[in-house]
Structure formats: C-alpha cells, structure tokens
Structure 1
C-alpha cells in the first residue's frame, strides 16, 4: 500500500531538517551569526509549512 506523498510539504520538512543540521554545524564552528541565521530560517520555514498545512485543512 503506497500512499500519495505531498511532495512540496516533504521538501519543506527536509529543508527544516537541513536548517537545524546547519545550526549544529554553526555551533561546531562557533559562529554566532550563522547560528542565528539558520535558527531564524529554520523556524521561519517551519512556520510557513505549518501555515500552509492549516490553510489546506
């Protein structure tokens, strides 16, 4: 049983995971600017995805 995947939402979820992975990488490099940038981008993309999901019902 293969369900139909929502490809745009899957890509958004993967993008959020990549952003928070990059936060960890920025922490390893001890770069506060990249930590801030990727944290804000990660939460922004996650919020955008949640708002899209809420609009679709």
Structure 2
C-alpha cells in the first residue's frame, strides 16, 4: 500500500470544506459569502490539479 501524501490530502480537505461552507452560507442567505467560498473552492481545486500535473 502506498504512503499517504498529506499535503494533497490537506488541499483536498480544504476544497471540500469550502464547498460545505457554500451550503452553510446559502442556508443563512448570505449570497456574497457563498460566492466567495465557491470561488475559493474552485481556486483550491485548481491549485491541487496544477500540482498533480506538475508532479507527473
């Protein structure tokens, strides 16, 4: 079994957490905050995908 890459695991966890916060912000009807977390989630995902391409 391969070793766990904790840096990538942390980046993936942050991206998922941002999308969870989008749901929370929509629940409290704060659409600006939801938009901010949505953009931040996509930026973190893009950072993770770029790092994966760079590594391989």
TM-score by length of 2: 0.96
After superposition, the C-alpha distances for 1:1-57 in whole angstroms (9 at most, x for unaligned) are x43000100000000010000000001011011011000000000000000000000
TM-score by length of 1: 0.94
Q: Unmatched 5+ residue regions in structure 2?
A: none
Q: Unmatched 5+ residue regions in structure 1?
A: none
Provide the aligned length of Structure 1 versus Structure 2. Answer: 56
- Superposed CA RMSD in Å reads 0.7
